[in-house]
Structure 1
């Protein structure tokens, strides 16, 4: 009898723990079952604030006598670049098939990976494009960076290729973080940091070349007159080798009373 009671008690405890885990999991995932007498939320596609991608808003509605809120608006974002074509649907891309010599086209199949709640997505999508090298484009124009969306647009015109399979114009939207457009003022984020590092390396190389030229001028016996309190004339020729050392001097034109100037007026090198 005690064994039966113990088994029953263990089963009840396991059931309670499982129910708590399920409830906590649903809470973490943000999934809530619609109330009785309420249809649940139906979401409209994301509408960008400007252009065809970037930050925007999504409208949601629900119906029923027990719904406390019938509509609400939330913030959303449509990715710019390759992913904006499918909006709320995310697909897993397969490799491109071999080029069809008859049509000069290649294709691949996209499998649905995930979708935003309420979005209608196809399970598979077939993409086609001209084979590599079939269409060649040249840059036509580029817009200035939009500070709100941090994007800019590039338009390319068809240069070479069959007009039956190649688009006359291609419009691409890109981020401004690694790109300077317009007058070169729109640069933010990682692009600005990279530009600053590049400028610092350029200045360091310029200073190193200047120092090297100064040393070469001194070795050639030219007059080196550094800025500051010490002023010198031209170097003399190196003297005879004594203890594997050669010495040369230069006259001090100003600052002869300073030990530092006197020290710099003499140069020693190995024979």
Structure 2
């Protein structure tokens, strides 16, 4: 406490770092520190007990004090590797694992012997000698001088190779100051080391948004106890007001809950009041502002069926169909519910199911055949029904029913019919359409159509010139452009098309106006470029006047 007061009083005399270090030291002294006390390892279970002994900290706050944990023993089995000499004929050696510590019954590698290949020893060793970089060719020579090994077997001895110099041109990033109007800055590369004739002295990399331009300060109002809400206003500390959106923004939100309670289980339902209660005890919060104990009540839930009814009945069997009224009855007996509100017995009635019957009263039953394949012409599939039981004089012996195909079946049927495509006809100016004929190439003639006609709208029949943008109109603050007809039928195409755009954008910046696009240039460094002329606009519009694409 004294150190904290000292930091407040002597904030001018002492640096801020000293106060921070003192507060950190106080926090460290109050932290919980433990010491692990490990017991001996049990060889049968391979387990050991670990006790956490408190070294520093408040015993009431430190929960792990004198806590006992059971865990697996580490490094129970320890071995010593013994390698034999390498056999030059087979190029193999034997490795023996001797048990140093651990249970021999559980350690599997005890006294294990296996053979393996000898590790390759590098007989040839070289030293790289690099020459100085040639600035004209940007090349250097590398020679390999033999240090150890047989010159007859070592292939790289006195070998000389030529390669490109590494890191010939080195640059340093330089950032321009941020423009507060556009909130953008340019990044350029300045040459630090390298040949100025070969390396460009400056390179403009790209233009990007400025980082961390807008900074705000939150100002919170006190919490309203009635509505439990407070207002927060954002005040601009650093940045341009035109670029920063949330200047002096004010919004409202809920206050954080200061009182937290521990909930007990709900009591049984009181039949006299039809309610049940629960007790809440204060878990976190100030006792002066929060109630230490709370009791809340709510009405008991009524037992309801799946349909939301309080009266549940047991259903009896359906009676036989009455031929005079064509109805059947069922009796319902009360199973659960208040007898004063629910009926003890109910009778419900419904019409009998109508079936085709013969003269002797027996129904006509049919055997169903599988559905046929989908007919793409009519988009239907059929099924045949054969009489199985019933009077043949009253029942039909054979029936045929049809239904529309499902989408998947229609698609599979359409794939079985393949056609040859004829040429497109000339465009009909009255309807602005063109057509082509399809003749059947492969498929069942009974299912697939012999010929088909496809129709499509004509495209690019009317071609216009680009036109020129006019000067900005001071009254309407707009520029206009008129496009004249170059190619197309004058009866169907408009003679001219005119449209206009505002001189400025919604944010107040000047709008860019361009001319027509040119053709793509020849391939250079794997990239093709095309340009358009900036007619009206600032220097920032030059970025939008260039398009690039990779060479195909």
Q: Please indicate the TM-score interval, normalised by the length of the shorter structure.
A: under 0.3
Higher Cα Rg, which structure: 2
**Bigger proportion of residues as helix:** 1
- TM-score normalised to structure 1 length: 0.26
Which structure carries more relative contact order (alpha carbon 8 Å, separation 6+)? 1
- TM-score normalised to structure 2 length: 0.14
**Bigger proportion of residues as strand:** 2
